[in-house]
A and B are shown apart, each in its own frame.
Chain A
Amino acid sequence: MCHMEKADFSLKARHKKKIWFAAVCILLIFVVLVVQMSYIMVFCSEYYLARADDLHERERSIKASRGRILDANGVVLASNKTVCTISVIHSQIKDPERVIKILCEELGLTDEEVRKRVEKVTSIERIKTNVDRDVGDRIRNYALEGVKVDEDYKRYYPYGSLASKVIGFTGSDNQGIVGLEVKYDSWLSGDSGKILTLTDSRGVELEGMQENRKEPVAGMDVTLSIDYNIQMYAQQLANKALEEKQAKTVSIIVMNPQNGEIMAMVNAPEYDLNNPYELNFEPETVVTGQAYQDLLNGMWRNKCINDTYEPGSTFKMITATAALETGAVTLDSQYYCPGYKIVEDRRIRCARTTGHGAQDFTHTVMNSCNPAFIEWGLRVGVDNYFDYMGKLGILEKTGIDLPGEASTIMHKKENVGQVELATMSFGQSFQITPMQLLRAASAIINGGTLVTPHFAVKASDAEGNNVKIFEYETKENAIKKETSDTMKGILEKVVSEGGGKNAYIEGFSIGGKTATSQKLPRGNGKYISSFIGFAPVDNPQVIAMCIIDEPVGVYYGGTIAAPVVRQLFENILPYMGIEKSVQS
């Protein structure tokens, strides 16, 4: 039993009061703690939970299957095949030596490469992508712990090199790299899904936890205006011309002049889309590194739109149109060609040095007489000439749905004098892309509508429902319909009686214009031969252009390029259902 303390040491009211005071203080502090806890656990809960989930979840993405690319008739031009991605999960590997050995053997990688990745402490490390399905299945059958075989899609092009420079190809992550594949990547690629698994701090997946799965959304199919048959046939013709003329390149564009739908675009030599990193020729010396990459970049170039050239006489179509539109000439205008024309201090020769003699307007076009066109161009004048180049889209990009379109290289208007205007009148001293010229030519023959050349027609989902019909800008009344009709008549004469007669096909009404342009510097003996043709003249359904770069031997456009278009038309006009209309 306790003994009694002296009175002074006994518990007094003031002590009790102090204890209660302290207790109340602690209670108040507890309230503060509860408020802070509630704040974190109620108001910040969502934020912290999301951050924590980020920390705990390992994300494995599931690739969406990439949409296909189809031709106008539904022929598959680009599709997918199943391949495998092999990865390792460091924390799950039980027998690293066996894993390294088997992966080396099956994947054909060096021990060093595989070892580096297997021994790297990461949650998941990719060993190799785009592995054939057979190899993937074999690796899966080893049932190696810590080795994951994920199926995945790889781009596959059933026709190899067909329209390679138009379609383009994809990279290791199935992303578009060049061509339509990159232009329409957002439509084709779809949304990748993901599998989220919970892991502990060492990255070990937790068992019995729900897997969070977000399904991938497949990409859209994109339908092109390209017609497999026309493209195939054009490509054969281009390859044939390439070989016969030992040319550097041969390009053919086939387009519907009424709406700008491109039916074929060939740039021979094409390359194999399934092996885009292999050159389509044997380089003379061993090339590596940047130089090899430069060669590849050159190989992937689409010359119809990525490169410019001096159009030459085909450009006379624009000069003639401008001259007619502005009233500078009429069909009755006469010109006498002595074989040259003097502009200021220059003497500009005609292709026919002896001269064409007296000609009316139509014949100056049929003869492709340079002095006459200098006269017509000078009559139009600089302002009007630039005005009509603008109206016909020569001064701007065409807006085609391919990346990397080149810009016009043109004199500044204020610097254009008589000499410059003279040379421009017959298509020299400036550069445009073949596509720009074909677009201008289409406007001249279709009644005056400037179209946007294009490939993609629509995007549709896996069930075939159209999700998007692509629309393109058109500018009507770039020129008068009467001028267009007049030009069609003149151009028909060029083929039936003039320099383009090698493009003539009995029974069909075909119009066109040839060109033979010297490559710079002048006098180096290198030429570009070209021909633009269209049919039928009354209501043009197809316009085609053939450009032969640096042919060996005969280099006249009318001699070598026009026959290519003729052969093309001989086949595709009946295929397109265009009947013979002219009684022979």
Chain B
Amino acid sequence: MQKKRLKKVKYFDYSLLFVIIFLLGFGLVMIYSTSSYNAQIKFNDSEYFFKKQLFAEILGIVCMYAAYKIDYHIWVKYAAFLYVVAMVMIVLVLSPLGYSAYGARRWISIGPLSIQPAEFAKLALIFSCTAAVNKMNQNSRKFAAIFVHLFLGIVLAGMIFVITNNLSSAIIIFGIAVVISFVAYPKYNIYVIVAGLVGALVVAVRSWAQQAQLSDNANFRFERILAWVNPEKFADDTGFQTVQALYAIGSGGLFGKGLGKSLQKLGFIPEAQNDMIFSVICEELGLFGALCVLIVFGLMLWRFVYIATNAPDLTGCLLVVGVFAHIAIQVVLNVAVVTNLIPNTGISLPFISYGGTSVLFLMAEMGIVLNVSSHIRMEI
């Protein structure tokens, strides 16, 4: 009988790579489908958005490869520096380098490139939270360690919310910090309690809004929440996007109208290639297609879980957990917004929504995950 022995074999997660490539390709198809009408009208070139996204994705693949080649410990080593860079970039939005689009000042342009600091901030936060666990050593088991993570998250999230008025990115960043601290901190109860409180708050707000929308003297400050409860009542302004998305989703039915046959993308859903792209997926591919997309995301998350739980050390594990949190939160929030489960806030669907910066940094994260995966030691 042959003796079992450990042998170091270079591991590579091909399933994850396949999922990434699939999502990129599918994203391109959907971006062409949703944006060609708007692009034709605005730029007289139906492939305008498609070409820009294609370019960003090629750049993203280069990024991913580079990140894959770099040992992930380096990121943690320079985490503090990258954290400061992220803060500086956010502040730069206010400088002449910053510029506005879609009615919000969220971008900075460097030469021909324009990037959204919020996307980089997500990455910087993952690094710094991981680094904090490393630094705290045994102390990370203490209750106070939670506050270190939350502090890191709150600073970046607060800056993004205050300076760029981007609530959704702030929520995602804070969410990533919470998930990393959850995995690092040994106990459960505090998180269960907080999650219970958040759930109760959502139910309370929802029932308050249901009451309030019945009375006529609705407060304008809460219109977004009122529109959440009854979007069709606010279909002309606050609820417009939501209602148009619901029309799209609802008219999809089980198998959809067929690829490219969405009517709602023809100017009814504003900027259909951005945050609301999932509604067009539903309209064109139906419940079946939308489920497939969710399953692919689920597959990706499962690969992250596999890599994180098999990572050679806690650093690698927490980096992957951060990426896991990022993708999971963003997918969940995007689909929840589009299906009107939560009030409307602009959140893009990873890999599929149009957006160069987003794809670039997402691909960098994928490179890091692949690098972590390559350190997995296989038993043969």
Contact = CB atoms under 8 A, between A and B. Distances in A.
A23 B302 contact: yes
Interface in A162-181: none
Given A5-B315, A9-B315, A47-B250, A33 B267 contact: no
A11 B336 contact: no
A52 B294 contact: no
A18 B183 contact: yes
Interface of A: 2, 4-5, 8-11, 14-16, 18-23, 26-27, 29-30, 32-34, 36-38, 40-42, 44-45, 47-49, 51-53, 55-56, 198, 200-202, 206
A18 B184 CA distance: 8
Contacts of A21: 188
Interface string B335-347: 1100101000000
Contact of A40 (B179, B188, B250): B250
Given A9-B134, A26-B301, 17 more contacts: A2-B375, A5-B314, A11-B309, A20-B309, A21-B188, A22-B321, A30-B294, A33-B332, A34-B294, A38-B287, A40-B246, A41-B250, A41-B252, A48-B246, A48-B247, A200-B266, A206-B266
A22 B179 contact: yes
A19 B321 contact: yes
The 4 closest A-B pairs by CB, nearest first: A48-B250, A201-B267, A200-B266, A52-B247
Contacts of A26: 301, 328, 332
Contact of B254 (A42, A198, A201): A42
Contacts of A16: 309
B112 to A, nearest CB: 32
Contacts of B315: 5, 9
B350 to A, nearest CB: 14
A27 B138 contact: no
11 contacts: A19-B183, A23-B324, A30-B332, A37-B282, A37-B339, A44-B250, A45-B250, A55-B247, A56-B268, A198-B263, A200-B266
A202 B332 CA distance: 33
A4 B136 CA distance: 18
Contact of A52 (B183, B263, B313): B263
B251 interface: yes
Contacts of B305: 19-20, 23
Contacts of B282: 37, 41
B314 A33 contact: no
Interface of B: 37, 71, 73, 134, 137-138, 179, 182-184, 186, 188, 246-254, 263-264, 266-268, 282, 286-287, 290-291, 294, 298, 301-302, 305, 308-309, 311-315, 317, 321, 324-325, 328, 332, 335-336, 339, 341, 375
A33 B336 contact: yes
A82 to B, nearest CB: 35
A45 B73 CA distance: 50
Choose among B254, B263, B287 the residue with the greatest number of A CB atoms under 10 Å from its CB. Answer: B263
A40 B37 CA distance: 26
Contact of B287 (A5, A37, A48): A37
A213 B276 CA distance: 32
Contacts of B335: 33, 37
B183 A15 contact: yes
A1 to B, nearest CB: 8
Contacts of B184: 15
A33 B339 contact: yes
B339 A40 contact: yes
Contacts of A52: 247-248, 250-251, 263-264
A361 B336 CA distance: 97
Given A11-B314, A26-B332, A33 B251 contact: no
Contacts of A202: 267
Nearest to A12: B314
B287 A15 contact: no
B267 A15 contact: no
Contact of A37 (B179, B249, B267, B314): B249
A19 B309 contact: yes
Given A19-B183, A33-B294, A41-B282, A48 B332 contact: no
A483 B264 CA distance: 80
